[in-house]
Chain A
Amino acid sequence: GQQLNQSPQSMFIQEGEDVSMNCTSSSIFNTWLWYKQDPGEGPVLLIALYKAGELTSNGRLTAQFGITRKDSFLNISASIPSDVGIYFCAGRIQGAQKLVFGQGTRLTINP
């Protein structure tokens, strides 16, 4: 069944706005990964998080490993047209030998 809830499912914003999305679960995670996928391409790894409370940046992107270890957040500052795409979270559940993926957040930027 679904173990990761990613929200929002879609976002429509104006260029220059900041973006926030998150993934939550009832399970405890050891690792969080954030990916971006452009149409017709494979997901590209943006940020990896390994410790509760960890805050990591990659340019205008910042992701955090929630202190409860059940959630993670991704923020994009000052969005630009090339930020358009689908953002996925993925995580390793504690004690489980598998990665689980969120359903994705589709980001659209209005000109």
Chain B
Amino acid sequence: KAGVTQTPRYLIKTRGQQVTLSCSPISGHRSVSWYQQTPGQGLQFLFEYFSETQRNKGNFPGRFSGRQFSNSRSEMNVSTLELGDSALYLCASSTDYLNEQYFGPGTRLTVT
């Protein structure tokens, strides 16, 4: 079974721009969670989608948003990028949010 895939793997953006990241979960997994990982803050939970609905949300500003499609693929959008948004963005899929989560390789976002 193929693992979680994320595209793109690397991205460089300028402050004020917006960005969209994509995640394809493991086949059969309906829950997709997004995390931000930085050296100083560790893994921070952004939100979780299940069957196209956002069920859980972390403490991030409204500039961070996401959606999930009927095939369980998910996208995450960050608008009005700030330097502090530079991070590794990870998505994880599972059969349900609180079950074992399997991570993708991440998207490394650099904001200049």
A residues within 8 Å of B by Cβ?
Answer: 31, 33, 35, 40-45, 48, 88, 90, 92, 97-99, 101-104
Contacts and interface: CB of A to CB of B under 8 A. Distances in A.
A88 B43 contact: yes
Contacts of A99: 45, 97-98, 101
Contact of B4 (A42, A48, A101): A42
B102 A31 contact: no
Q: Which of A41, A43, A45 has the most CB of B within 10 A?
A: A43
A97 B104 contact: no
Contacts of B98: 31, 92, 97-99
A103 B42 CA distance: 6
Contact of A98 (B45, B100, B106, B108): B45
Contacts of B106: 40-42
B53 to A, nearest CB: 14
Interface residues of B, number: 18
12 contacts: A40-B105, A40-B106, A42-B4, A42-B6, A42-B92, A42-B103, A42-B104, A43-B90, A92-B98, A98-B56, A99-B97, A99-B101
A32 to B, nearest CB: 11
Majority secondary structure of chain B interface residues (helix, strand, loop or mixed): strand
Interface of B: 4, 6, 42-43, 45, 56, 90, 92, 97-98, 100-106, 108
A33 B104 contact: no
A101 B103 CA distance: 13
B103 A40 contact: no
A105 to B, nearest CB: 12
Contacts of A101: 42-43
A37 to B, nearest CB: 8
Contacts of B90: 42-43
A41 B43 contact: no
A104 B42 CA distance: 8
Given A98-B56, A99-B98, A43 B103 contact: yes
